[in-house]
């Protein structure tokens, strides 16, 4: 097994491990219902893992192009498509997990605030606490909305980067297909030229045989004429 094949196998193992780690982090986000700080930390970890995962897939694609075996390259291309589909599915699961976790944290915070309000006594204090709770809720909701927007922007950027990479890969495949088609047309032109050259050589071969026959006939006629003239002169003398 050559060094390129070993490198490709290592990349495949790394991608599989990275996919499992990514799924674990997404599950942690789905189960997170503590604070926004914890959630943002998990989202940051997932973002780094996604970037590393994409880089490993790109490295595998580059290494595959350098392999000499065509059948192995086709098999690896199929596996790379599968890895990309897994990454896209993980991205969708990540967005759902973020939304679910944000909802859980928001619900938990609201319940805690309402619980504090139910323990207070007195109509005046209750009214003040209700106003304060409303203000706090508005601030909390605004903060959470901002955090959700930032998280969705991060995921959108990752998805946009993945789409751009897919477009680049598609353009590379189209260019390779055009090159193969052009090479095939050149081979067809060369084949037609070879067939035409063969016909010309065959024609010239027949022409050479015909010329030889004509030369022999001409020589026979010439020597016949010479013999005839000499015979006439000899008979004329006698």
Residue 219 lies in a domain: no
Q: Report the pLDDT value the prediction gives residue 121, as an integer from 0 to 100.
A: 46
pLDDT < 70: residue spans in the chain: 1-2, 115-142, 145, 169, 173-174, 176-178, 235-238
Judge whether 18 and 49 are in contact, CB under 8 Å: yes
Residue 235 lies in a domain: no
Residue 142 lies in a domain: yes
Cα dihedral sign, 34-39-42-46: positive
Residue 209 lies in a domain: no
Residue 230 lies in a domain: no
Residue 159 lies in a domain: yes
Residue 147 lies in a domain: yes
Say how far apart CA 117 and CA 40 lie, in whole Å. Answer: 28
The pTM for the full model equals: 0.47
Number of domains in the chain: 1
Q: Report the pLDDT value the prediction gives residue 86, as an integer from 0 to 100.
A: 92
Q: Report the pLDDT value the prediction gives residue 157, as an integer from 0 to 100.
A: 77
Q: Report the pLDDT value the prediction gives residue 1, as an integer from 0 to 100.
A: 53
Residue 101 lies in a domain: yes
Q: Report the pLDDT value the prediction gives residue 206, as an integer from 0 to 100.
A: 83
The boundaries of the domain holding residue 56 are 3-192
């Amino acid at each position: 097994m050559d060094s390129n094949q070993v490198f490709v196998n290592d990349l495949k193992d790394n991608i599989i491990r990275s996919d499992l780690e990514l799924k674990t982090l997404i599950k942690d986000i789905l189960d997170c219902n503590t604070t926004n700080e914890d959630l943002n930390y998990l989202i940051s970890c997932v973002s780094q893992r996604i970037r590393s995962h994409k880089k490993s897939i790109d490295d595998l694609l580059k290494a595959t192009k350098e392999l000499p075996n065509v059948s192995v390259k086709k098999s690896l291309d199929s596996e790379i498509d599968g890895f990309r589909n897994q990454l896209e599915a993980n991205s969708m699961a990540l967005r759902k997990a973020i939304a679910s976790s944000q909802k859980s944290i928001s619900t938990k915070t609201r319940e805690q605030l309402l619980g504090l309000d139910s323990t207070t006594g007195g109509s005046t204090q209750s009214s003040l606490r209700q106003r304060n709770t409303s203000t706090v809720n508005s601030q909390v909701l605004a903060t959470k909305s901002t955090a959700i927007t930032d998280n969705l922007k991060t995921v959108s950027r990752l998805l946009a980067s993945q789409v751009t990479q897919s477009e680049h890969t598609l353009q590379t495949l189209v260019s390779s297909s055009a090159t193969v088609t052009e090479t095939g047309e050149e081979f067809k032109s060369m084949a037609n030229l070879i067939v035409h050259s063969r016909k010309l050589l065959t024609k010239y071969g027949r022409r050479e045989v015909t010329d030889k026959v004509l030369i022999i006939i001409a020589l026979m006629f010439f020597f016949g004429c010479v013999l005839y003239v000499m015979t006439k002169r000899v008979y004329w003398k006698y």
